[in-house]
Amino acid sequence: MTQISPKIEKSWKEILADEFNADYFMLLKEFLVKEKQKYRVYPPGPLIFNAFNCTSFHQVKVVLLGQDPYHGRGQAHGLCFSVPDGIPQPPSLVNIFRELNSDLGIRAPVSGNLEKWARQGVLLLNATLTVRANQPGSHQGKGWEIFTDAVIKNISQKRAGIVFLLWGKYAQAKEALIDTKKHYILRAAHPSPYSATNGFFGCGHFSKTNEILQRHGLENIDWALQ
Nearest to 75 by CA among 124, 125, 36, 112: 112
Cβ neighbours of residue 39 closer than 8 Å, sequence gap 6 or more: 132, 133
Cβ neighbours of residue 125 closer than 8 Å, sequence gap 6 or more: 51, 63, 64, 65, 66, 80, 148, 151, 152
pLDDT value of residue 204 = 98
Q: Distance between CA atoms of 84 and 32, rounded to whole angstroms?
A: 23
pLDDT value of residue 6 = 80
User: Where would I find the H helices in the chain?
Assistant: 10-15, 17-20, 23-38, 50-54, 91-104, 115-119, 144-158, 169-172, 205-215
Q: Write out the chain's pLDDT in tens, 226 residues.
A: 344 568 899 999 999 999 999 999 999 999 999 999 999 999 999 999 999 999 999 999 999 999 999 999 999 999 999 999 999 999 999 999 999 999 999 999 999 999 999 999 999 999 999 999 999 999 999 999 999 999 999 999 999 999 999 999 999 999 999 999 999 999 999 999 999 999 999 999 999 999 999 999 999 999 999 7
pLDDT value of residue 85 = 97
Residues marked active site are found at: 68
